[in-house]
Amino acid sequence: MKNPTAAMLVIGDEILSGRTRDANMHHLAGELTKIGITLTEVRVVADEADDIVRAVNELRARVTYVFTSGGIGPTHDDITADCIAAAFGVGIDVRADARAVLAMNYENGEADLNPARLRMARIPDGATLIENSVSRAPGFSIENVHVMAGVPSVFTAMVAWLLPQLQHGAAVVSDSYRVDLPESVIAGPLGEIADAFRELSVGSYPFFEDGKHGANLVVRGTDASLVAQAMDRIKSAFSGRIA
């Protein structure tokens, strides 16, 4: 049986302007790998409604799960929840369950919910809430789309709450071996090994350090003994060889 698949949609101008370097993508990728969900695509789009709606609709048709990060806060540039509602063609409004969760965050409860805060209780019709153990304001899931915050500590907490509830696949085992040879020397033998182990993913990740070429050879798959066999073949092909 094939593992479930996933796509991630990162929403916001921060990464596209070069202002910050992504952290959520790297975190989610690692967590999904651990539980056997295959991340097949990541997209980063700006705070533009048309771009967000199109990306959500393209991705949710293609994979088992879509995860989004960013754009669910209270400021004018937080338009993700409205875009998700538009993508699904459903209504959106302040909802009692989200409002109650949010109110727990403030000294005077509901009385402290000003219009900006109430924006964070706007949930598309038919969605269920995702718990935020850090700062209360919830994310939400609608069909196969899971909408989470962009602040890394909150994103991480939401992912930790959500993933155990999803369908897991066979855990992916991986092993890697560093070879200090140029890829042009590695390529022939490695291609033969990849051909011999078609159930596995055999990758070569080149680097260039101090004027010398090398590569990390990575074998990944759900059958641990097959991964070990392929790695043995790689080691016997390349160990002791120097450029």
Using CB under 8 A, which of 99, 136, 220, 235 touches a second copy?
A: 220
Residue 210: count other Cβ atoms within 10 Å of its Cβ. Answer: 4
> Any idea what DSSP says for residue 106?
S
Interaction residues for a second copy, span 95-124 (CB under 8 A): 114-117, 119-120
Q: Which is nearer to a second copy, 185 or 237 (CB)?
A: 185
Interaction residues for a second copy, span 168-187 (CB under 8 A): 172, 174, 183-187
Q: Which is nearer to a second copy, 142 or 219 (CB)?
A: 219
How far does CA 175 lie from the centroid of its chain?
21
Interaction residues for a second copy, span 134-163 (CB under 8 A): 134-135, 150-151, 153-154
Give yes or no for a contact between 203 and 192, defined as CB atoms under 8 angstroms apart: no
Q: Which is nearer to a second copy, 113 or 145 (CB)?
A: 113
76 lies in the site for a second copy, by CB under 8 A: yes
β-bridge partners, 68: 9, 147
Q: Which is nearer to a second copy, 11 or 86 (CB)?
A: 11
Question: Binding mask 17-36 vs a second copy (x if CB under 8 A, - otherwise)?
Answer: xxxxxx--xxxxxxxxx---
Q: Which is nearer to a second copy, 128 or 216 (CB)?
A: 216
CA–CA dist 215, 189 (Å, integer): 14
66 lies in the site for a second copy, by CB under 8 A: no
Q: Which is nearer to a second copy, 40 or 128 (CB)?
A: 40
Query: 114-153: buried (b, 16+ CB within 10 Å) or exposed (e) per residue?
Result: eeebebbbbbbeebeebebeeebbbbbbbebbbbbbbbee
Number of H helices, E strands in the chain: 9, 11
In the chain, at which residue ranges do the beta strands (DSSP E only) sit?
A: 5-11, 38-45, 65-69, 92-94, 122-124, 128-130, 139-142, 145-148, 173-179, 201-209, 212-221
Interaction residues for a second copy, span 198-217 (CB under 8 A): 201-208, 213, 215
The footprint of a second copy on this chain (CB under 8 A) covers a number of residues equal to 72
Tokens of 226: 């097959």
Using CB under 8 A, which of 37, 47, 81, 221 touches a second copy?
A: 47
Least distance (Å) between residue 51 CB and a second copy: 7
